[in-house]
Chains A and B, each alone.
Chain A
Amino acid sequence: MTGIPYDWLEGLLVLLGASVLLVLVVVISVIKNMGIAREMLLAVLKGGGQLLAIALFLTFLFGFDQWYFLIWLLLGTMVAVSGHTAARRAADMPGAFQVTTPAILAGAAAALVVLAFSRAMPLHPQFIVPLAGMAFGNSMKICSLSLERLMREVRANRTAIETALSLGATSRQALEEYGKISVKASLIPTIDSLKTLGIIFIPGAMAGLLIAGTDPLVAAEYQIIVYLMIVGGGIISSLLASTLSRPKLFTAAEQLQPWV
């Protein structure tokens, strides 16, 4: 197997060819006055631009002797951006960034350390960058879902929480049930994807490896490794998001914060 049978210049021509479908959709949306053409084009240009930028950065990184300096910079950026993005899900929680950032960092870091020690991730930028991207991206997604659900549960069950507090429960005890619900809910999409792996869709890492010409068995093994990382790191992020939210939701006197 040889992977994609052309270089980057030919790739541009192929890209133009593949854009025919997009042009067709844009034309239809203009004719039908659907009002999405502009947003769709902007999204494609933004996403495409970001991918090309990271590709140029990776080309430089892979050939750079002191790559580890840049890797730390890249990982730091991933921490800040993912923490900030997840915090927007709980915009009305003061200091949500202080919850999401350590939660995502801990989940993603735990996953990457395990991958490094198990030799699934050789310490080379070619492996570290994409796997770190997956680890941070998934921890961010799971952390966002967890926090959003937790806020919803707390608001919907405010009376039950205050009833528990009135009966002498600590804030930890009063919140415990809703923390469990939020962690479970945040993992449902990942668990559903696990159940349908290989049946409904071939996931990203495996699809990429197959396109690059890797043996399907090796590609499948690697995908399983990636999913283990996603689930493990995600659970850590979700649990931490729930735990770190408690001091934000309650006062030192074990009262629900007025903004909840």
Chain B
Amino acid sequence: MVTVTGLSKSLDGRQVLRSIDLDVRRGEIMALVGPSGGGKSTLLRCLNRLLEPDEGTITFQGTDIRDVPPVTLRRSLVLVPQESVMFPGTVYANVAYGPALQGTADHEHVVRCIADAGLPSSLVHRPADKLSGGEKRRVALARALALRPDVLLLDEPTAGVDPKNVETVEQHIVEFSRSRGLTVLWVTHDVSQAKRVSHRTAGLRDGTVGEINATDSFNWEGVY
């Protein structure tokens, strides 16, 4: 589905990614684990072309992403960044943002995405910037789902979520990935979360991918 070959990227004179090779399969949830500053977020930003790699190639469904218009690419490979910025307006307006840009906002679909992200219907017309951190994370997830993506790039999707709700959010993501056949690349620094949610795991440390393996067989010793 998404294949990364020999990807390198430097930021501010520091090499953040070094010759990364990675293959994410259709319909799987792959956890990307490793310590902070290891290049996980940079890799996600390269995948949806918010950043341009210095070397290497990324293909999506067999096509080099440089041959796909960036706006089209980002509607298929949707990034949910670590910081959930809410746009002015209600939860509904935020979730409908992406489809509205394309003129394809479908009321029922938007409402379903809000529910799939685990948000109660009472929040639909609330101003999005008044929500708690955890609720904002779910709005960000619903906003990404509303685009009907092929791949979700999740950067620490439970950061800021109340600990007692973390597993609920995880279950929602796993469930909508399964029901929609959605491919997910899930960045987390939490080993136990990777074990709970993913089919396969890749370890990223100091800009280099170490082991890539089925999560059940992954050697967690060398990750941190």
Interface residues of A (CB under 8 A from B): 159-160, 162-170, 173, 177, 251, 253-256
B8 sits at the interface (CB 8 A)? no
1/0 per residue, CB under 8 A from A, across B147-158: the answer is: 100000000000
Q: Is B97 on the interface with A (CB-CB < 8 A)? A: yes
Is B81 a contact partner of A159 (Cβ separation < 8 A)?
A: yes
| Interface stretch of the complex, out of B49-57, B110-118, B193-201 | B49-57
In the bound complex, do residue A168 and residue B75 qualify as a contact, i.e. CB atoms below 8 Å apart? yes
CB distance from A157 to the nearest CB of B (A): 8
Q: Which residues of B contact A253 (CB under 8 A)?
A: 49, 52, 66, 70
Instruction: Verify if B106 is at the interface (C-beta below 8 Å from A).
Output: no
- Does B48 contact A166, Cβ atoms closer than 8 Å? yes
* Distance A127 CA – B75 CA, assembled complex (angstroms): 56
Given A159-B81, A162-B81, A255-B70, A167 and B97 contact (CB-CB distance below 8 Å): yes
Q: A-facing mask of B82-104, CB < 8 A → 1, else 0?
A: 01010110000000011001100
For B, the interface residue count at a CB cutoff of 8 angstroms equals 27
Q: Is B79 an interface residue (CB 8 A)?
A: yes
Q: Which residues between 134 and 166 of chain B lie within 8 Å of chain A, taking CB atoms?
A: 140, 143-144, 147
Partner of A160, one of B74, B87, B143: B87
Contact B85 A165 (CB under 8 A): no
The distance in angstroms between the C-alpha atoms of A160 and B72, with both chains bound, is: 19
Number of A-B contacts (CB under 8 A): 60
Interface residues in chain B, defined as those with a beta carbon under 8 Å from any beta carbon in chain A: 48-52, 66, 70-72, 74-75, 78-81, 83, 85, 87-88, 97-98, 101-102, 140, 143-144, 147
Closest 8 CB pairs of A and B: A168-B75, A167-B98, A166-B79, A160-B85, A254-B70, A163-B85, A253-B70, A168-B74
- With A254-B70, A255-B52 given, is the CB distance from A169 to B85 under 8 Å? no
Alpha-carbon separation in the docked complex, A254 to B74 (Å): 10
Closest to A169 in B: B101
> A residues within 8 A CB of B88?
177
CA A173 to CA B79, docked complex, whole Å: 18
Q: Could you tell me if B52 and A165 are in contact, using CB atoms closer than 8 angstroms?
A: no
Chain B: minimal CB distance from A115 (Å): 39
CA distance A177 to B88 in the complex (A): 10
**A168, B51: Cβ atoms under 8 Å?**
no
> How far is it, in angstroms, between the C-alpha of A170 and the C-alpha of B70 when the chains are bound?
9
Residue of B nearest to A161 (CB): B85
A156 to nearest B CB, angstroms?
Answer: 11
Between A and B, 29 residue pairs with Cβ closer than 8 Å are A159-B81, A159-B83, A160-B85, A160-B87, A162-B50, A163-B85, A163-B140, A164-B87, A164-B97, A165-B50, A165-B70, A166-B78, A166-B81, A167-B75, A167-B97, A167-B101, A168-B72, A168-B74, A168-B98, A168-B102, A168-B147, A169-B98, A170-B71, A251-B52, A253-B49, A253-B70, A254-B70, A255-B49, A256-B50
